[in-house]
Amino acid sequence: MIPRHLMIGVAVMFVIVLSMGFYLRHLSRAAAEMQRLAADTRPVAPPAVGPTETVTLYVADDDAGALRSQPAQIPLPGGRQQRAEELLRALLRIYQQPDSPHPLAPTADIRSIYLIDPGAAVIDLNAAFADQHRSSILGEQLTVNSLVETLAFNVPGINRVRILVEGDTRETLAGHADLTEFFDISAVGQAVTQAAQ
Amino acid sequence: MLPATTIPTRTLAAALTVLVFLAAVPAADEARLSIYSSVATYTLPVTTRTGREYVGLLEVLEPLGRVSSSAEGRHWKLRYNNVDSDFVAGRTRAKIRGRDLDLPAPFLIENSRGLVPVSSLGTLLPRFLGNPVNFHEAARRLFIGDIATQVTAQLDASTPPRLVLNFSAPVNPTISTEPGKLRMVFTREPLVPPGSQSLSFDNAIISQATFSESNGTAELTIAASAPLMASFSNNARTITVSAASQGPPPVGGASTPGETSAPGGMPAGGGTPVAGGTPAPPPAPRRILAVVDPAHGGTERGAALTDTLAEKNVTLGFARLLRHELEQRGFSVMLLRDGDDTLTLDQRAGTANAAHAAIYISLHAASQGSGARVYTALLPREGPDKGPFHAWNAAQAPALLTSQNVAAAVLGEMQKHQLPARGYPASLRPLNNLLMPALAVELAPGPNGVSDLPSANYQQKAAAAIADAVSSVRDRLGAQP
């Protein structure tokens, strides 16, 4: 006859194996779901909605070697951060037009903007923005000035801006403009004014 | 009496720097032993007892591994990693790894320090290390393992002649000049003699290169009949010694004397001429060091100006022309790279700052726009200065106004040379890391488009404009100390 304690041991082992099997199945399903979500590039956020507002975009002009201010009407959401993102996306759309005065790659995008108190903004560009940017001091500086100035003019309270690429520090935008430091809004503003003269 | 609080911080910092320097630099006649290994390179003082040279054994082994020692009466025990040894004061016989070793002179104990004769190191150290050592006893230079920096010399007999010294590892010698000689002293580099201790060249200006070693250092001496300059390239693996084409004429057959120490690649030479028994000539005009930086290089190509033309190649040609133009106007010029070398932005700034240059000019090229653009630093939001130390990212701040004045002069000269140009502030490193007036010039296409960029005529026009402008503000630039 099989001893009682052996039967209990086998039963416990059986229960453990069974629960581990269930847990393994659960892990495998979770991994598959994560893979599916990562491959899904469909937009998860609706297009920006909100009242249309008139904003001022500072658009780079390669021929003039300066920025020119350009009013635009765009729908702006309520949140400060979402407003900042929509502003720069509106600016980017101008640069991606066929007749752009300062062409940028069609795949260039603003991944996100983080507003950090007090007064700091961090713009996170996608890799294509930097990788496909034309390499020159003037061209890169105009891009930086345009992003910084547009943000500073339309989103009150920002006094310094940092630019990241794919969430990481990159030494330069495309070989020249230094991205390792915060840009001082007032210094950039003076540079923009000086270039316009 | 001056209250302590009113002493300027800079004065205090300068005094401290001098004190630290004096404390760190060994006296010229102090005997030293240099030890080179893959783990550490270090120099130890050598003491003389009863006419023999001694060195502390603990100090010799400490940088190489775990060491402990204890003194018990006349016995001095030392453990290096797992090797035990026993020395007896006043005796020549020691025991290492359980085996006897005879020293050429008695072992000494002073203040619990065990001293061994320097001449014993060649046989003593392999017992501890388990590796062979190569001891240049007369020069007190000890090489552990197969560590060595080789040097080859090649004379380019162009005008002016250039002696190219290629090293198997980066070097940073102290460079000085004296009449008829340029001396490079290698303190930390395990430099070994080339095939021959002395190389003779069939050249009227650079005639000989001689290797010598003594007192823990190696020395390369270049003999010449004209003032010489040294410049670094290839990540400090190449030193190019060339005759200074615009130096003041030598007096009484001597080259320009006036010793200058030039660590970090500063051109040496260009001192005040000394009249040997002849009336003193009028003082030579002050020579100012300009650093010209051809942007990019090596693996970093810069902008692709055309399918086949890289920015790094245009900037190098442009820089060589600018060097010539500046030298024509009496400047000493250091090119941060004179070949296809990769240099980081920090290396560029560090070299220019260490050389105490009076002006820094970075050269770039772009395929968009026309003419040229002149940039000064757009300083980032800097951290606070710490006392006399400037924040690295805003080191340019005190010199920015002069930089803008120089840039304005360059723009004016470019207009005179019919080269359209505009000035901008730009967040372009290493401009903000430089202590001296600094600007960047970006050459853009001319009337014939991008094909103008590599054109010597087009570059020459821009180089002449820049050199004229820098020359016109010469008095506002600080002289190299």
pLDDT tens digits for B76-93?
999 888 899 999 999 999
Residue in chain B lying closest to A175 (CA): B302
User: Å from B352 to nearest chain A CA?
Assistant: 19
Position A47 in a domain: no
Expressed as residue numbers, the domain containing A1 is 1-42
B31-35, B163-167, B239-243: least confidently modelled range: B239-243
Q: What is the CATH number of domain B149-264?
A: 2.60.40.3470
How far is it, in rounded angstroms, from Cα B64 to Cα B326? 49
Based on the fold, state whether residues A14 and A80 are members of the same structural domain: no
In a domain, A75, yes or no: yes
Domain match, A80 and A149 both: yes
Taking residues A146-165, report their average pLDDT. 93
> Which segment of A51-60, B237-246, B321-330, B388-397 scores lowest on mean pLDDT?
B237-246
Over 50: is that where the pLDDT of B259 sits? Answer: no
CATH number of B32-144: 3.30.457.10
CB contact under 8 A, A181 and B380: yes
> What number of other Cβ atoms are within 10 A of residue A180's Cβ?
15
Per-residue pLDDT, averaged over B174-193, amounts to 83
Same domain for A10 and A57? Answer: no
Give the pLDDT score at B385.
58
DSSP A64-132: TTEEEEEEEEEE--SSHHHHHHHHHHHHHHHHTSTT-SS---TT--EEEEEEETTTEEEEEE-HHHHHT
Of B366, B381, B427, the CB nearest to A138: B366
Higher pLDDT, B410 or B68: B410
User: Are residues A103 and A29 part of one domain?
Assistant: no
Domain match, A109 and A189 both = yes
A181 touches chain B (CB under 8 A): yes
- Same domain flag for A14 and A111: no
Of A41-45, A172-176, B229-233, B418-422, the one with minimum mean pLDDT is: A41-45
ipTM exceeds 0.85: no
Same domain, A66 and A30: no
User: What pLDDT is recorded for position B24?
Assistant: 42
User: How far, CA to CA in Å, does A101 sit from each of A114, A131, B190, B253, B306?
Assistant: 28, 19, 57, 64, 21
Can you give the residue ranges of every domain in chain B?
32-144, 149-264, 286-378+389-481
Task: Determine the pLDDT at residue A44.
Answer: 56
Whole-angstrom distance, CA of residue B476 vs CA of residue B165: 36
A contacts of B434 (beta carbons < 8 Å): none
**How high does pLDDT run on average in chain B?**
80
> Is residue A144 within 8 angstroms of chain B, CB to CB?
yes
Q: Please write the tens of the pLDDT for every residue from B443-470.
A: 999 888 888 898 888 999 999 999 999 9
Look at A62 and B369 and tell me if their CB atoms are within 8 Å: yes
Q: Is residue A19 part of a domain?
A: yes
CATH of domain B286-378+389-481: 3.40.630.40
The C-alpha of A102 sits at a distance from chain B's nearest C-alpha, in angstroms, of: 11
Residue B282 has pLDDT above 70, yes or no: no
CA distance B395 to chain A (A): 14
pLDDT at res. B94: 92
Choosing among B299, B348, B378, B431, which should be mutated to test the A contact, i.e. which has the most A CBs within 10 A?
B378
A67-126 pLDDT tens trace: 999 999 988 887 888 889 999 999 999 999 999 999 999 999 999 999 987 789 999 999
Please determine, for residue A28, whether its predicted confidence score (pLDDT) is greater than 90: yes
Q: Say whether both A20 and A78 belong to one domain.
A: no
- Tell me the C-alpha distance between B94 and B99, whole Å: 8
Cβ contacts of B367 on chain A, cutoff 8 Å: 136
* Residues in B touching A176 (Cβ below 8 Å): 364, 426, 428
The mean pLDDT value for B383-396 works out to 72
More confident residue, B257 or A30: A30
**B286 confidence band (pLDDT: 50, 70, 90):** low
Domain tally, chain A: 2
pLDDT per residue as tens digits for the range A121-137: 999 999 999 999 999 99
Q: Taking CB atoms and an 8 Å limit, are A184 and B381 in contact across chains?
A: yes
Q: Min CA distance, A177 vs chain B (Å)?
A: 5
Q: Nearest-CA neighbor of B363 among B290, B293, B464? A: B293
Nearest CB to B427 within list A135, A139, A178: A178
Q: How far is A98 from chain B (nearest CA, A)?
A: 17
pLDDT at A76: 84
What's the pLDDT score for residue B118? 93
Instruction: Please report residues of A whose CB lies closer than 8 A to that of B296.
Output: 175
The 10 Å CB-count burial string (b at 16+, else e) for B420-455 is ebbbbbbbbbbbbbbbbbbbbbbbbbbeeebebbbe
CB contacts, 8 Å: A144 with chain B: 427
Q: Which helix (H) or strand (E) holds A16?
A: helix A4-39
SS3 state of residue B119: helix
A24 touches chain B (CB under 8 A): no
Residue A151 and residue A184 share a domain:
yes
B103-156 residue pLDDT tens: 999 999 887 788 999 999 998 999 898 888 899 999 999 999 888 888 888 888
d(CA B384, CA B390): 8
> Does A63 share its domain with A87?
yes
Nearest chain A Cα to B366, which residue? A136
Report pLDDT for A95: 95
Q: Considering only A119-133, B196-210, B276-290, which range has the smallest mean pLDDT?
A: B276-290
